[in-house]
Amino acid sequence: AQKITQTQPGMFVQEKEAVTLDCTYDTSDPSYGLFWYKQPSSGEMIFLIYQGSYDQQNATEGRYSLNFQKARKSANLVISASQLGDSAMYFCAMRGFYNQGGKLIFGQGTELSVKP
Amino acid sequence: GAVVSQHPSWVICKSGTSVKIECRSLDFQATTMFWYRQFPKQSLMLMATSNEGSKATYEQGVEKDKFLINHASLTLSTLTVTSAHPEDSSFYICSASLGTASSGNTIYFGEGSWLTVV
């Protein structure tokens, strides 16, 4: 079985500051991928960043970086220089490629509010 | 531009009727499509995995006869909510994948469909 846990229901950050959104996971799959998505109030799922379980380096995409600690089974998202437009729901997700048939499973989500 | 198109974006139906939601991959052939349900302020709950040409695999607790999923071609999967009731009102969203291990992070989401049953 696989499980994704986001323990922060809501987070506040001041504009231009950095914020870390926590994500821990558990899986029996030897090969898996970790994702972060942003979901604004419109409902669309916006892909932010991806980390494969065998990737040696932490993934980065512009202002987004993924702090991947495999031994701790954590995949925290760091957003640098927060902007007002970053206010949204953020979901961590995991995809197990062998035992889980490629299913993408989501965490509970964190609602981020950026203050001006 | 969108590579997965979901239709309709909004639908209101009367209790007891059925409603169909379509999920189309526009630029690629999707071997696997996933259907999710999301209540306000909650996570996306996987309902079923749809593979082209075969029966959908439903997650535990999801009623197969209630939520009919058909993946008739490599570019189209449909979700039909049968005999809809107000408690079926939710946000439904699909995603499409090229495959499993070889495609890694290649998953595309549709825009989602808001269903309201009155």
pLDDT tens digits, A21-42: 999 999 988 889 999 999 999 9
Mean pLDDT value across residues A16-24: 98
Mean pLDDT value across residues B46-64: 91
CA distance A3 to A29: 11
What does residue B111 show for φ and ψ, rounded to 5 degrees?
-80, -15
Contact of B31 with chain A, judged by CB distance below 8 Å, is answered with: no
Partner-chain residue, chosen from B43, B97, B109, that has the shortest CB–CB distance to A102: B97
What are the structure tokens assigned to B115, written together? 């269903």
B2 band by pLDDT with thresholds 50, 70 and 90: low
Q: What is the pLDDT of residue B51?
A: 84
Closest chain B residue to the Cα of A109, Cα to Cα: B43
Contact of B21 with chain A, judged by CB distance below 8 Å, is answered with: no
- CB contact under 8 Å between A101 and B41, yes or no, is no
Q: What is the pLDDT of residue B41?
A: 87
Using one digit for the tens of pLDDT, what is the confidence trace for A81-116?
999 999 999 999 999 887 777 788 999 999 999 999
Distance of residue B42 Cα from the nearest chain A Cα, in angstroms? 6
User: B83 Cβ partners below 8 Å, 6+ apart?
Assistant: B16, B17, B18, B66
Closest chain B residue to the Cα of A101, Cα to Cα: B100
Contact of B82 with chain A, judged by CB distance below 8 Å, is answered with: no
Contact of A11 with chain B, judged by CB distance below 8 Å, is answered with: no
Mean pLDDT value across residues A67-74: 96
Would you tell me how many other CB atoms lie within 10 Å of the CB of residue A61? 12
| Mean residue pLDDT across chain A | 94
CA distance B35 to B44: 9
Using one digit for the tens of pLDDT, what is the confidence trace for B75-102?
999 999 999 999 999 999 999 987 544 4
* Nearest by Cα to A52 from A73, A72, A33: A33
- For residues B77 and B25, the answer to whether their CB atoms sit within 8 Å is no
- For residues B97 and B30, the answer to whether their CB atoms sit within 8 Å is yes
Measure Cα distances from A95 to A10, B26, B93, B107 in Å. Answer: 24, 23, 17, 10
| Mean residue pLDDT across chain B | 90
Contact of A101 with chain B, judged by CB distance below 8 Å, is answered with: yes
Q: What is the pLDDT of residue A102?
A: 77
Residue of A45, A61, A99 for testing the chain B interface, max B β-carbons within 10 Å: A45
- CB contact under 8 Å between B99 and A102, yes or no, is yes
Contact of A52 with chain B, judged by CB distance below 8 Å, is answered with: yes
Distance of residue A116 Cα from the nearest chain B Cα, in angstroms? 23
What 3-state DSSP class applies to A59? coil
Mean pLDDT value across residues B63-71: 94
Distance of residue B70 Cα from the nearest chain A Cα, in angstroms? 18
B1 band by pLDDT with thresholds 50, 70 and 90: low
Q: What is the pLDDT of residue B104?
A: 61
Contact of A107 with chain B, judged by CB distance below 8 Å, is answered with: yes
